[in-house]
Chains A and B, each alone.
Chain A
Amino acid sequence: MALTVQQRNIIKVTIILSALTILEFILAGTKDGIAGLLGWQPSTVSTLVLLTFLILTIFKAYYIVSEFMHLGHELRRMALSILLPFIFIVWLIIGMMIEGNYYGKLTKQEYDNEIGFQQTNTPDQELFVLKS
């Protein structure tokens, strides 16, 4: 059976997606080995591996959306009206990562002040009283 052009394209994308997944899997299994082999700091290697994972994931997402979901072959204005709203997600990612780090570094007292609660210890129970 002769393959159509579309089928050839599907097979190509399948191979790309599989290769990227296998690459991610191998990287996850060997990152400690890589660190030892190159003599780099484990933290440097894990940061690089993390960045690689993110880039590979975005590549996979691009191929799925563009080829499998066919968005790459739609009108440009159609594709943009789907994709542009995700700018807000980029903003949310940056915002929440900063926020998570900030809350993690607060001491317990700073956290209490931050959320406006005040803790009172009584002999048998702890009461949480809202600051007026």
Chain B
Amino acid sequence: MANLSVNPKALVEGERPGLLNASYGKLMMWFFLMSDAFTFSSLLIAYGALRIRSIAQAVPWADPEQVFTHTPILYESFHIEAPLVFVGIMTFILILSSVTMVLAVEAGHRNSKQEVAKWMLWTILGGLTFVICQAYEWYHFIMGHDTGALKVLVENGLGGLRQETALLVAEPGVMAVKNFHGEILATGSTAFSNFINTIDLVEVYIKSGNAAQMVPDLIRYAQEYNAPEVAALLQTGLNEYGAEGMLTHGGANMLVNEYGPPAFANLFFFVTGFHGTHVFSGVVINFIIYINVIKGTYEKRGHYEMVEKVGLYWHFVDLVWVFVFTFFYLI
């Protein structure tokens, strides 16, 4: 057993190549990354399983191209919807910060302190930019889009299983129930009242627009289109909360969202939030190592293996984003 005893100095100094020709610290980083990869895999597999279940139930899943359409400047100044452009930019920022990280590692092999510091700083800046971009994306995901519509939360049977959300759209002369993709599920008096009678209405939200005018209009349309349940529900809401009190901005929270089944928003928050936490902690760790590089800690030590270890973590964060990008935004 004596051969297996650990030399405390080797833990720090990155010696003891051993059977796998890797230092203790590097191996432990790999083991940690493996366990983290299993966690992220489980989350993404849960996303896949719930999405496939939803499709098998004929409940449409969210369409990323209609969800992620906000791009800074394009949206604020020109009101242009540009699907997936912003997330493409975010992906590039993260890939480029991964490149600067690998350049820092390469400079470390040449013991070039100044170059390591330079590339580490670029990496930290890239990571911070990514986190800020994610905050922008979350803000618009939560706030939703501008279009006005009435939202009806439909719950069938057990808990969340058959939970559905439909948009109840009222325009002059038309009252219709649409799904997330804008396909009309029911319109016209008979079809409409048949549809309404098959579901349990739980909650009604006015998404945006002029609520004071929209709610009375909706009540009138509902009566015209032979849907007294909807009219009564709206009237109750109006009496209890007032038109402004029924106003929400759509978007997303943990219970309901305008894009698709509740699980879609929940998983979006969980997976991108968990990834964002990794990016943020990566920035913090990179910063600590950056300070050490500046102070000359690794120059004295004679090698820059610590930069390689945080580099492994940073590339892993990039790797996870490659998968999140594919599964949440592209497919």
Contact = CB atoms under 8 A, between A and B. Distances in A.
A6 B106 contact: yes
Interface in B102-117: 102-103, 106, 109-110
Tell me if B's interface is mostly helix, strand, loop or mixed: helix
A7 B48 CA distance: 38
Contacts of B277: none
B158 A108 contact: yes
A60 B321 CA distance: 11
8 contacts: A21-B91, A25-B84, A64-B319, A67-B102, A74-B22, A77-B19, A97-B48, A104-B53
Contact of B316 (A69, A85, A117): A69
Interface of A: 4, 6-7, 10, 14, 17-18, 21, 24-25, 28-29, 50, 53-54, 56-57, 60-61, 64-65, 67-70, 74-75, 77-78, 81-82, 85-86, 89, 92-93, 96-97, 99-105, 108, 111-112, 117, 119, 128
Interface residues of B, number: 57
A102 B52 CA distance: 9
Contact of B99 (A14, A97, A103, A108): A14
B20 A77 contact: yes
A7 to B, nearest CB: 6
Nearest to A24: B330
A85 B34 CA distance: 9
A21 B92 contact: yes
Interface in B234-250: none
A75 B20 contact: yes
Given A14-B99, A64-B318, A103-B53, A89 B38 contact: yes
Contacts of A14: 95-96, 99
Interface of B: 19-22, 30, 34, 37-38, 41-42, 45-46, 48-57, 65, 83-84, 88, 91-92, 95-96, 98-99, 101-103, 106, 109-110, 156-158, 161-162, 308, 311-312, 315-316, 318-319, 322-323, 325-326, 329-331
A28 B99 CA distance: 25
Contacts of B318: 64, 68
Nearest to B45: A96
Contacts of A111: 158, 161
Contact of A53 (B41, B84, B331): B331
Given A25-B88, A61-B319, A104-B54, 10 more contacts: A21-B95, A56-B326, A68-B98, A69-B311, A96-B49, A100-B52, A103-B53, A104-B57, A108-B158, A119-B157
A69 B306 CA distance: 14
